[in-house]
Chains A and B, each alone.
Chain A
Amino acid sequence: MTLAGWGMILLFTALFIALAKPAGDWMFTLYKGEAMPLGRVLGPLEQGCYRLSGVDPAREQGWVGYAAALMCFNLAGIGLLFAILKLQAVLPFNPQHFGGIDNWLAFNTAVSFVTNTNWQNYGGESTLSNFSQMAGLTVQNFLSAATGIAVAFAIIRGFARASAQGIGNFWADITRVTLYLLLPASIVLALVYVLLGVPQTLDASVGATTLEGARQSIALGPVASQLAIKMLGTNGGGFFNANSAHPFENPSALSNYIQMLSIFVLGAGLTLTFGKAVGNVKQGWSLLAAMVLLVLAGVTFAYWAEAAGNPIHQALGIAGGNMEGKEVRFGIAATVLFAVVTTATSCGAVIGMHDSLMPLAGLVPMFNMQLGELVIGGVGSGLYAVLIYAILAVFIAGLMVGRTPEYVGKKIESREMKLTVIAIVIPPLCILGLAALASVVGPGLAGPLAKGPHGFSEILYAYSSAAANNGSAFGGLSGNTPFYNATLAIGMFFGRFGVILPVLGIAGGLAVKRRVPPGPGSFPTTGPLWIGLLAAIILIVGGLTFLPTLALGPIADQFQVAAGTLN
């Protein structure tokens, strides 16, 4: 561990916290449905969208209506994307004349991008046409992020409203989020990336002559535009297979820093949107503080494990930390930070191979995902996931102040508990259930490259990544097989909607309730005690669920490495 490394990590923390405030304010205006600063330019476009689709943006939907609209929209998105991927041979903008892709792969990819996972079982530049990338994947990058923020808005309304039937209008929410937030921010970011040297072109590739005199074709494409939303919308699907480790997708330390900040900015900002909406911005800061605590704990642990280096390498005379699988331009500190940032959110972009992290360092990204992406989290999904845990924490510990548990003025009763339990049970069911299946059946066992606990980590990581809608790959797993394409898609689908639906149910139930004004007798959900309690409940419940599997994966792996045995 170096001073420079720590300096970079702490500066990053300070910067994203500073950015959370303006982002939160911007999204608060969006949340309330008020006129936006860009309204003059984009307003007609927004109204046009409503008129075209026959939507009345002012009509409130109950939670069932909201959920139905969301599911229809997302299922249609899966169907459309599947069709584009299958038909890309006959669709335009296909300079390299790629054919339609395999059914299973198309299914996996369609579910992957609609669920904001962006798990990539394909090599981007060598499989997909520019049309597929732009009209298929990039569109879903926007819409899946907008869906996440819409659900976050819905649950915020549940807490903020009193005796209300509706939780907003899904169509208006996604339209506004896309138009006034994701599009303008992505355009600005794309221009910044272009400025920093990221290509943005419809040309397929450029020829080059290497030092040995060989001809090499270097793939190009509309990289900057996809990169912007890939980070901002915590999608993580890279244009290139090497993702953000590719020099065209991440040319410099500065672009790396901007990418990391743009991953966190919306997720962090939404906590403050929540705080403002419930009338006490401290509630938002407290959620953010608990998240920051967990991010720093993760970074510290992983950085320590990486900087300590690999004893096997060291025995062979290679001093220093573990540099295996790292882009040398970035080094240990930046790679570790990026790995934590990308898995704390549901982004999943990578700048190094997580497979090559020290086992304990690799445990951090895995555990981040298993917690359900609530440390900052995916755009929108991070907020609703952490609110689920806040409800749980309030319920477990809240009784200890001698009152029916309540969170930001809403009583937490059996209906909320029922739905919270569903939202908390489904992700581990997907992760552990599917990983157990893959551990015993032939097609599953054929996947991992490594043997022993490291191979197990590869399987566990894949399903954790899928169910948490992260999309980062540990590497080392041959995922493009019918078995993995299918099971991972199942994990992604239920990991996404198995949480969204109960969350919307909670939102609907909460909106109807009265708000209890806070007083000295109310359970304190701001301040250090609450922040510590929330972080502890997240760690304990998450830890209790996944400790046995983590012991069999990364922890056993670490002991083997320490003992000098390789698999």
Chain B
Amino acid sequence: MNAPSPSLFTGPLMAAATRDAVLKLDPRKLIHTPVMFVTALVATLSTILLVREIVIGGGQIVFQAQLVFWLWLTVLFGNFAEAMAEGRGKAQAASLRATKAELKAKLLIGTGDLFETVAASQLEVGDVVLVETGDLIPADGDVVAGVASVNEAAITGESAPVIREAGGDRSAVTAGTRVISDQIKVKVTAAAGQGFLDRMIALVEGAQRQKTPNEIALTILLAGLTLIFLIAVGTLPAFASYAHGTIAVPVLVALFVTLIPTTISALLSAIGIAGMDRLVRFNVLAKSGRAVEAAGDIDTLLLDKTGTITIGDRQATELLPLPGIAHADFVSAARLASLADETPEGRSIVVLAGHGDPIPQDAVAIKFTSQTRVSGLQIGDRALVKGAVDAVLKRIGAAADPAAVQAMRDISDGIARSGGTPLAVAEGNRLLGVIHLKDIVKAGIRARFGELRRMGIRTVMITGDNPLTAASIAAESGVDDFLAEATPEDKLALIRKEQEGGKLVAMCGDGTNDAPALAQSDVGVAMNTGTQAAREAGNMVDLDSDPTKLIEIVGLGKQLLMTRGALTTFSISNDVAKYFAILPAIFIVLYPGLAALNVMKLGSPQSAILSAIIFNALIIPALVPLALKGVAYRPAPAGTLLARNLAIYGVGGLIAPFAGIKLIDLAVTGLNLA
């Protein structure tokens, strides 16, 4: 991913992680990772045995001491990995906390502008506060009056101010952001301690991190494997006694610890924290780890056309009057109908129409609503409207002249087929002509959809355009399917239909009317510029409000799961080599013939055991960078991904420890450690 990533191993970060690694030896913390807990238990046992040996004498104290040392180091390395992952979020959390501490609120009393200053922590849901120029917004809420520009750099890192105003889709404000002009009244929507800022602090710190469902399942598997190895190793003394021999406890301990999946267990929570951290660095806040995992499973992506597939705004390129309407009259009507329209589309029509009269004094704007889907201007008894062809025809109804309707359809179909959007203009019940709006499909988007298709993800374009226009843009952009003339209800119905077929759906949205669909979807990414309702409904918030990011979020989710799977496979494959190192070393005293299993030709039984346990410990810090960065991810079909990852982590995991243990053995033997 292309999010900025600071250097992994900086001095202070390492020092803090080292200190935390020791603090994490607390059994109450260790128990959350059963395999590491068992390792710590076994290390404690070995330490007690070592002390006993030292007191009563006998045994191979130097060898045993080394085993104990490496056992503890294994546990510490695991703690260290987790601490490293957490440490990266802590600095960010600290600065957010500082912001939060200084929040004061101007709580409004009564209906006027009278207020008293209270600490933000005393605010309750439903309180209305006044925020003036230079103030920090004290709590999450909705603007109920006024308009202001707000600097949200504290949250988003983006210093360009954004507009927040009462009503509409830009009403949500976040605690900790600063009003830099004007003043607004904000109705508090989140109680103290439950706001966006609090969630963000908890999130980047990884403090109350819940294990995700998949992580729980994996933990169960790892615990199960530990149990199997406990049985396999625990029965060995009995079998040795059958062969009239014994196996020393420290050796059994070494065998057990090298076999149980310490590598993946040590790195498991680090992988999870780092995955969330990558998302945060990508300026996306996931409300739960579950949502990040779900992102990897997405089958269907619902993408809004505007801003995601096409470049932001459509531009008017042509004004086409119906037969019998003078061109100049039509231009004038189109201009008037668009004068009150502040959207970029509306402005582009005015620009295309050229100079003309200003907006008349007695004119009243006809506001766009999602029900009528037309807008325009009422000048006296002249009602000039423009809108989607169907919407305008619906407004006129049976009063429309059939010939004009036919002519309009012919023109608009032609525009739609070319990928443009036709807007009908009418005065009263008389159709005047069609405005040609043009959409520009983003460069490179076609290739992205191709990638998604190869990953098995279906893309559906959501647009308010008519079906012909939608089809043309769909074809041009390479999207798999489209939903034309979509209302929020259509969107919700589509999500439900996909989910009934067993598919997981992701979408992004910002408006209040997107909230039900955001809540229904498996991964709902709310734009930070959106309404509070949308931000509550989604399970992720994109601080940059960039709908294209949905595609990257899916990638991050997949990368997280892949990293987990790759390290699990690696960890289990490693065991084969460890067997070949330790088993001959243990059994050679019982049956000398079994020396033939020492395929690595390790120096001595003791050095073999020591080398295996050293390898087992050192592989953890060696893999920390991989766990934190995630495995390399390129979109590809599952079969290709599996083949590649199996070759690297499965086959690699089989081979690597043979080489690693042999090298360590050479060192151990060379240094006369065993």
Interface residues of A (CB under 8 A from B): 162, 392, 395-404, 409, 412-414, 416-418, 420-421, 424-425, 428-429, 432-433, 435-437, 439-440, 445, 452-453, 455-456, 459, 514-517, 519-524, 527, 529, 533, 536, 540-541, 543-549, 551-552, 555-556, 559-560, 562-563
B16-49 contact mask (Cβ, 8 Å, vs A): 1 or 0: 0000000000000000000000000000000000
Given contacts A439-B239, A540-B573, A556-B594, contact A400 B642 (CB under 8 A): yes
8 closest residue pairs by CB, A with B: A521-B456, A399-B565, A559-B593, A402-B558, A421-B224, A436-B238, A400-B565, A436-B235
Docked Cα-Cα span, A1 to B596, in Å, equals: 25
A519-B501 Cα distance, complex, nearest whole Å: 13
Instruction: Given the known inter-chain contacts A400-B562, A428-B231, please indicate yes or no for A418 contacting B220, CB distance below 8 A.
Output: yes
CB-based contact A545/B228 at 8 Å: yes
Of B214, B558, B587, B594, the most chain A CB neighbours within 10 A belong to B214
Which parts of B417-455 form the interface with A (CB within 8 Å)?
453-455
Residues in chain A near residue B572, CB distance under 8 A: 396, 540, 544
| Nearest CB of A to B457, in Å | 6
Say whether, besides A409-B502, A436-B239, A521 and B455 are in contact (CB < 8 Å). Answer: yes
Residues of chain B lying within 8 A (CB to CB) of residue A523: 638, 642
Q: How far is the CA of A392 from the CA of B235 in the complex (A)?
A: 24
Q: Are A519 and B238 in contact (CB under 8 A)?
A: no
With a cutoff of 8 Å between Cβ atoms, the chain B residues found around residue A396 in the complex are 221, 565, 568-569, 572
**The residue from B236, B568, B587 contacting A556, defined by CB atoms under 8 A apart:** B587
B566 touches A400 (CB 8 A): yes
Q: Please give 20 more A-B residue pairs, beta carbons under 8 A apart, in addition to A402-B641, A439-B238, A559-B593.
A: A395-B218, A396-B568, A399-B566, A403-B638, A414-B213, A417-B218, A420-B224, A432-B231, A432-B232, A520-B455, A520-B638, A527-B639, A529-B642, A529-B643, A544-B228, A544-B575, A545-B228, A547-B583, A548-B579, A551-B587
* In the bound complex, CA of A401 to CA of B643 (Å): 9
Complexed CA–CA distance, A321 and B238 (Å): 35
Question: What CA separation (Å) do A440 and B246 show in the bound complex?
Answer: 12
- The answer, yes or no, to whether B637 is at the interface (CB within 8 Å) is yes
Structural contact, A562 and B646, CB atoms closer than 8 A:
no
Evaluate contact between A397 and B642: CB separation under 8 angstroms.
yes
B87 CB to closest chain A CB (Å) equals 26
| Residues on A with beta carbons closer than 8 Å to the beta carbon of B457 | 521
The answer to the question of B293 belonging to the interface, with a C-beta cut-off of 8 Å to chain A, is: yes
B242 at the interface (CB under 8 A from A): yes
Counted as pairs of residues, one from A and one from B, with CB atoms less than 8 Å apart, the total is 218
- Min CB distance A370 to B, Å, is 11
Interface core residue of A162, A392, A556 (most chain B CB under 10 Å) = A556
Question: Which chain B residue has the least Cβ–Cβ distance from A428?
Answer: B231
Q: How far is the CA of A395 from the CA of B564 in the complex (A)?
A: 11
CB-CB < 8 A to B243: which residues of A?
452-453, 456, 552, 556
Interfacial chain B residues near A437, Cβ < 8 Å: 238
Q: A398-B565, A456-B243, A544-B259 are in contact. Are A519 and B579 (CB under 8 A)?
A: no
Residues in B with CB closer than 8 Å to A414 are 213, 216-217, 220
Minimal beta-carbon separation of A160 from chain B (angstroms): 14
Once A445-B242, A521-B637 are accepted as A-B contacts, the answer to whether A400 and B645 lie under 8 Å apart by CB is: yes
| Contact flag A440-B238 (CB < 8 Å), given A402-B558, A404-B296, A529-B643 | yes
Q: Are A515 and B594 in contact (CB under 8 A)?
A: no
Q: Does B501 contact A517, Cβ atoms closer than 8 Å?
A: yes
B579 contacts A544, C-beta separation under 8 Å: yes
* Contact with A417, one of B220, B232, B643 (Cβ below 8 angstroms): B220
Asked if B138 is at the interface of the complex by the 8 Å CB criterion, the answer is no
Asked if A397 and B569 make an inter-chain contact with CB atoms under 8 angstroms apart, the answer reads: yes
Across-interface contacts of A417 in B (CB, < 8 A): 217-218, 220-221, 224
Given A421-B227, A439-B238, also A529-B232 (CB < 8 A): no
CB-based nearest B residue for A440: B238
Contacts of A429 in B (CB 8 A): 231
B648: nearest chain-A partner, CB-CB:
A400
Q: List 10 A-B contacts (CB under 8 A).
A: A399-B561, A400-B562, A400-B646, A417-B217, A439-B242, A523-B638, A544-B572, A552-B239, A555-B597, A556-B591
**Cα–Cα, bound, A404→B232 (Å):** 30
A400 touches B641 (CB 8 A): yes
Cβ of B69 within 8 Å of any chain A Cβ, yes or no, is no
Nearest-Cβ distance from residue A406 to partner chain B, whole angstroms: 9
Flag whether B82 is at the interface (Cβ < 8 A). Answer: no
Docked-complex contact B456 and A433, CB < 8 angstroms: no
Q: How far is the CB of B86 from chain A (nearest CB, A)?
A: 23
CA distance A310 to B594 in the complex (A): 18
Q: Which residues of A sit under 8 angstroms from B235, Cβ to Cβ?
A: 432-433, 435-436, 549
- Given A400-B565, A401-B638, A402-B561, is A562 in contact with B217 using a C-beta cutoff of 8 Å? no
Residues of A near B299 (CB, < 8 A) are 516, 519, 521
Given A395-B217, A435-B235: A424 touches B454 (CB 8 Å cut-off): no
Give A269 Cβ to nearest chain B Cβ, in Å.
28
**B547-605, CB < 8 A from A:** 557-559, 561-562, 564-566, 568-569, 572-573, 575-576, 579, 583, 587, 590-591, 593-594, 596-597
A510 to chain B, nearest CB (A): 13
- Cα of A403 to Cα of B457 in the assembled complex, Å: 12
Contacts of B596 in A (CB 8 A): 559
Contact yes or no, B562 A399, CB < 8 A: yes
**B649 on the A face (CB < 8 A):** yes
Q: How far is B455's CA from A437's CA once the two chains are assembled, in angstroms? A: 52
Identify which of residues 253-310 in chain B touch chain A, using a CB-to-CB cut-off of 8 Å.
259, 293, 296-297, 299
For B231, the chain A residues whose CB sits under 8 A away are: 425, 428-429, 432-433, 545
Kindly provide the distance from the CB of B526 to the nearest chain A CB, expressed in whole angstroms. Answer: 23
The yes or no answer to B633 lying at the interface (CB within 8 A) is yes
| Cβ A520 vs Cβ B562 within 8 A | no
Considering the complex, which residues of chain B in the window 616-663 have a beta carbon less than 8 Å from any beta carbon of chain A? 633, 637-639, 641-643, 645-646, 649-650
Could you say which of B221, B233, B236, B590 has the most chain A C-beta atoms within 10 Å of its C-beta?
A: B221
Whether the Cβ atoms of B502 and A403 lie closer than 8 Å is no
User: Are B224 and A425 within 8 A (Cβ)?
Assistant: yes
Task: Let me know if B561 and A529 touch, CB within 8 A.
Answer: no
Residue pair B242, A548 in contact (C-beta under 8 Å): no
Residue of B nearest to A519 (CB): B456
Q: Which of B316-341 contact A (CB under 8 A)?
A: none
B115 on interface, CB distance cutoff 8 Å? no
Report B-chain residues with C-beta under 8 Å of the C-beta of A404: 213-214, 293, 296-297, 561
A516 x B565 contact (CB < 8 A) = no
Q: Is the CB of A428 within 8 A of B228?
A: yes
